């Protein structure tokens, strides 16, 4: 297994030398292959799209699923750029809108939370932000030690990044934000029942952590929307940094969490093929509800 892991890493290292349009083309081909052979993940995507886009007919959902796998395949091959591409090349591939707005907040000493949903460009966006700011983020250890070292190195290549585990707790995260580190925060996975509430996501009750409201309130942080878009035709990525959410947080964590979910929905609708539909977002159900991913 370890030999296979090293061979896979070597393959990705070779691919990262390719021009981006060629890498994108190969990645889309990989996505088409995954759509054919990854039966379990295809089923997860199909269930998610059926729940979130009931207005689409079956043919439209199939087209969207294939588009998603193509975008996902691109992101998998282009992730090698995170690990090995030069700083100069990455700056040419990943561009910004709204960077000066974020820089002004950081230079003014305002704690910042970067609200970063799970779109396929997430890793390239994160490493590009790390070239501009020393950030804090949560790192989940991988079961495969070869891939774990590679991913850890990729997250920590540029600047002085602080990688915390979920077990490090609230205090370390709040302290880092107050010390001037933007927090690259990914709030939209199903982490089970612990510390979550059920809040609608595309009209479906979804187990959702309240961390955006809770952590921003404790740190007195501005919550800045941060979305990484994969551009068509192998033209790279753009990180969109929005204005801080107004009147956020409030004393009502549930209302804040619903507002975050509604904002994520609005962005997903602008590029639905790029959201991370292979994740079982509705795995945890309210008492008495059936699990939707059972075949």
The span from the CA of 8 to the CA of 20, in Å, is 19
Below-70 pLDDT ranges, the chain: 1, 295
Q: What is the pLDDT of residue 30?
A: 97
Domain count, the chain: 1
Q: What are phi and psi of 120, to 5 degrees?
A: -65, -20
Q: Does 72 fall in a domain?
A: yes
Q: What is the pLDDT of residue 222?
A: 98
Burial class for 211, CB neighbours closer than 10 Å (0-12, 13-18, 19+): buried
Q: How many residues does the chain have?
A: 295
Q: What is the pLDDT of residue 271?
A: 98
User: Residue 109 belongs to a domain with what CATH number?
Assistant: 3.40.1130
Q: What is the pLDDT of residue 22?
A: 97
Q: Does 152 fall in a domain?
A: yes
Q: Does 281 fall in a domain?
A: no
Q: What is the pLDDT of residue 173?
A: 95
Q: Does 11 fall in a domain?
A: yes
Domain range for 91: 2-274
The span from the CA of 279 to the CA of 200, in Å, is 17
Q: Does 225 fall in a domain?
A: yes
Q: Residue 292 CA to chain centroid, in angstroms?
A: 23
Q: Does 294 fall in a domain?
A: no
Q: Does 207 fall in a domain?
A: yes
Q: Does 67 fall in a domain?
A: yes
């Amino acid at each position: 297994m370890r030999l296979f892991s090293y061979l896979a890493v070597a393959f990705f290292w070779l691919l990262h030398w390719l021009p981006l349009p060629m890498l994108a083309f190969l990645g889309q081909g990989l996505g088409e292959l995954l759509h054919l052979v990854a039966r379990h993940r295809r089923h997860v995507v199909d269930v998610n799209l059926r729940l979130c886009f009931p207005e689409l007919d079956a043919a439209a959902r199939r087209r969207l699923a294939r588009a998603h796998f193509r975008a996902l395949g691109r992101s998998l091959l282009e992730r090698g750029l995170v690990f090995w591409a030069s700083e100069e090349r990455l700056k040419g591939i990943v561009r910004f809108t709204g960077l000066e707005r974020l820089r002004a907040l950081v230079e003014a000493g305002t704690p910042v939370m970067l609200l970063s949903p799970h779109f396929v460009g997430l890793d390239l966006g994160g490493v590009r932000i790390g070239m501009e700011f020393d950030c804090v983020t949560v790192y989940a250890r991988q079961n495969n030690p070869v891939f774990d070292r590679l991913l850890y190195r990729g997250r920590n290549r540029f600047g002085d990044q602080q990688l915390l585990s979920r077990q490090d707790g609230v205090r370390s995260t709040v302290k880092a934000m107050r010390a001037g580190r933007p927090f690259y925060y990914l709030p939209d996975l199903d982490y089970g029942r612990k510390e979550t509430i059920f809040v609608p996501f595309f009209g479906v009750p979804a187990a959702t952590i309240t961390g955006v409201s809770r952590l921003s309130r404790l740190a007195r942080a501005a919550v800045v929307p941060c979305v990484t878009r994969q551009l068509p035709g192998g033209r790279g990525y753009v990180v969109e940094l929005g204005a801080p959410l107004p009147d956020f947080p409030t004393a009502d964590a549930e209302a804040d969490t619903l507002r975050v979910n509604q904002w994520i929905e609005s962005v997903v609708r602008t590029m639905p093929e790029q959201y991370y539909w292979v994740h079982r977002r509705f795995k945890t159900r309210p008492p008495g509800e059936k699990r939707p991913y059972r075949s």
